[in-house]
Amino acid sequence: MDFCSLPKIDLHCHLDGSVRPETIIDLANDQNIELPSQDVEVIRNLMIAPETCVDLKEYLTRFELPLQVMQTKKSLERISYEVFEDAAKENVKYLELRFAPLLHVRNGLTVEQIISSVVKGMKRAELDYDIRGNYILCILRTMPKDDIPQVIEAGAKYIGKGVVAFDLAGAELAGFCHDFVKEAKAARKKGFHVTIHAGEQGNGQNVQDAIELLKAERIGHGIHIIDHSGGFKAVRNGNVGLETCPSSNVQTKAVQDIESHPAKRFYKQGLAVTINTDNRTVSNTTMTQEVQKVCEQFYLSQKDYVAIYLNSVEQSFASDAIKQELRNYIDEL
């Protein structure tokens, strides 16, 4: 298989984890932000999480550098454009990019300005390249809950116009879903789809809770349903999409190594498995590499890949018209 030319879909990718190191240097110089180095390779190494981190916490420290330069409308627009550009160049046909607007208010931008800037960058890339996209708005579970309604309110204006879903991300404590029932309900009422990071570091019960309490239609990672029958059944019975991110899972020690990743097992069990990057820079990866890794490691055929791609189409929060466009790429194979 020529992995680069295959059409691909990324449903789980973080904006701040996918910034080009060159852009960090450019923007920092523009904004008079002091960097530890002007050398692209040094900056790249500071952004890439080690092959295996101590834990998710160490992995998350890699986001601080990009966040420093992502506090203006111009930088948000540019970075959004560039992530779509990079994805388009490796034949990603549809990208659902996610980010937490509240991480970008340090210099006084409003949540509305922040969302509007990234959507603008995405729309510009859609005009220049053969790629379509949407945004997912994340809330970090450690953020003050009082701030969540303003994200839902501001995002609601962009539903159907570049924003499609609501997500909870960041460090995963057992039972966290119980604390967000009201917020997820408010988001659904405004027309947001729901996807939740769960069962990555935490347990399978979190996955079951995300589906039952928060009505998640997709789960970020979901690895730990492997030893939790309630979580497994909730995913299977609800045809809930699993946003699998193999390289990231090895880095954060959610799995020991790629060989022990449950992606193939879940796929063979008929779950709606999808393959995604999580973070293009922090995880030092691309969709081409993730697809290649999974296909080669688990001896998947092109037919298997097509089935996984079609899972991504069905599980995406795209409009029916875009879903049809995405299916058409398969007919050309």
Residues noted as catalytic: 200
Instruction: Considering the complex, state which of residue 96 and residue 278 has its C-beta at the smaller distance from Zn ion.
Output: 278
Encode 4-34: b = buried (16+ Cβ within 10 Å), e = exposed: eebbbbbbbbbbbbbbbbebbbebbeeeeee
Q: Is 130 annotated as a binding residue?
A: no
Q: Tell the smallest beta-carbon distance from residue 331 to Zn ion (Å).
A: 31
Q: Is 278 annotated as a binding residue?
A: yes
Per-position x/- string for 266-285, each x denoting binding to Zn ion as judged by CB under 5 A, each - no binding: ------------x-------
Cα–Cα separations (whole angstroms), residue 290 to 276, 287, 322, 327, 332: 7, 5, 23, 20, 22
DSSP 100: -
Residues 165-204 that bind Zn ion (CB under 5 A): none
Q: What angle do CA 52, 312, 123 make, to 5 degrees?
A: 95
Instruction: Considering the complex, state which of residue 217 and residue 278 has its C-beta at the smaller distance from Zn ion.
Output: 278
DSSP 171: S
Cα–Cα distance for residue pair 167/165, rounded to 1 Å: 7
Instruction: Considering the complex, state which of residue 14 and residue 104 has its C-beta at the smaller distance from Zn ion.
Output: 14
Q: Is 170 annotated as a binding residue?
A: yes
Cα–Cα distance for residue pair 207/198, rounded to 1 Å: 5
Going by their DSSP bridges, the two strands 193-198 and 132-140 should be labelled as: unpaired
Q: Tell the smallest beta-carbon distance from residue 141 to Zn ion (Å).
A: 12
Per-position x/- string for 279-318, each x denoting binding to Zn ion as judged by CB under 5 A, each - no binding: ----------------------------------------
Q: Tell the smallest beta-carbon distance from residue 14 to Zn ion (Å).
A: 6
Q: Is 228 annotated as a binding residue?
A: no
Instruction: Considering the complex, state which of residue 7 and residue 17 has its C-beta at the smaller distance from Zn ion.
Output: 17
Per-position x/- string for 227-266, each x denoting binding to Zn ion as judged by CB under 5 A, each - no binding: ----------------------------------------
Q: Is 12 annotated as a binding residue?
A: yes
Residues 6+ apart with CB under 8 A from 88: 125, 129, 130, 131
Residue type at position 190? K
Q: Is 197 annotated as a binding residue?
A: yes
Q: Tell the smallest beta-carbon distance from residue 196 to Zn ion (Å).
A: 10
331 burial (CB, 10 Å; 0-12 / 13-18 / 19+) is exposed
- Interface size with Zn ion, residues (CB under 5 A): 1
Kindly list the residues in this chain that would bind Zn ion in the complex (CB under 5 A): 278
Binding-site residues from annotation for substrate: 14, 16, 170
